[in-house]
């Protein structure tokens, strides 16, 4: 819109023979054109800044997602290891209790081979004759 306004000012300052008056250009057109150029430069710099920020955000987001995936994989691996350890502990406990029962049954079924001998004493000597 400002560009059209500046162009119309520029065209209105033309002389009838088609030449451009130097004073008109320098006074009327330089300010709007330089303002338009400054605005366009500012707009492009702003867009570049916004695009850079978006790119940085996307890169950080991708990095975060990758780290989350790695963390989830490590967490699954940890849970599996814990499960396997608990399973081994449970099996070891069961095996130990079964071995204890087997030993108890064996000790109960075992016949005792114990022989007891009680010594006998007989009194001989002087004390009996008295």
Against a cut of 0.85, is the pTM above it?
A: no
In a domain, 11, yes or no: yes
Measured from the Cβ of residue 10, the count of other Cβ atoms closer than 10 Å reads: 16
Q: Which residue has the tokens 């520029």?
A: 10
3-class secondary-structure state, position 106: helix
Q: What is the pLDDT of residue 26?
A: 55
In a domain, 35, yes or no: yes
Which structural domain, as residue segments, surrounds residue 22? 2-100
Q: What is the pLDDT of residue 57?
A: 97
In a domain, 105, yes or no: no
In a domain, 123, yes or no: no
For residue 13, give both structure tokens.
């300052």
Specify the number of domains making up the chain: 1
In a domain, 117, yes or no: no
In a domain, 111, yes or no: no
In a domain, 112, yes or no: no
Q: Which residue has the tokens 């867009």?
A: 47
How far apart are the C-alpha atoms of 96 and 98, rounded to whole Å?
Answer: 5
Phi and psi (nearest 5°) for 76?
Answer: -65, -45
Averages of pLDDT over each 10 residues, the chain, 130 residues = 67 54 56 87 96 97 97 97 96 88 73 73 63
């Amino acid at each position: 819109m400002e560009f059209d306004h500046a162009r119309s000012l520029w065209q209105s300052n033309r002389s009838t023979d088609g030449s451009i008056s130097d004073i008109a250009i320098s006074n009327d057109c330089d300010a709007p054109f330089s303002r338009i150029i400054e605005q366009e430069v500012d707009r492009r710099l702003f867009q570049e800044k916004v695009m850079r920020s978006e790119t940085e955000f996307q890169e950080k987001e991708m990095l975060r997602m990758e780290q989350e995936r790695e963390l989830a994989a490590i967490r699954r691996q940890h849970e599996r290891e814990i499960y396997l350890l608990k399973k081994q502990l449970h099996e070891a406990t069961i095996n130990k209790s079964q071995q204890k029962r087997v030993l108890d049954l064996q000790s109960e079924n075992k016949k005792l081979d114990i022989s007891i001998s009680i010594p006998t004493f007989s009194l001989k000597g002087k004390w009996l004759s008295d």
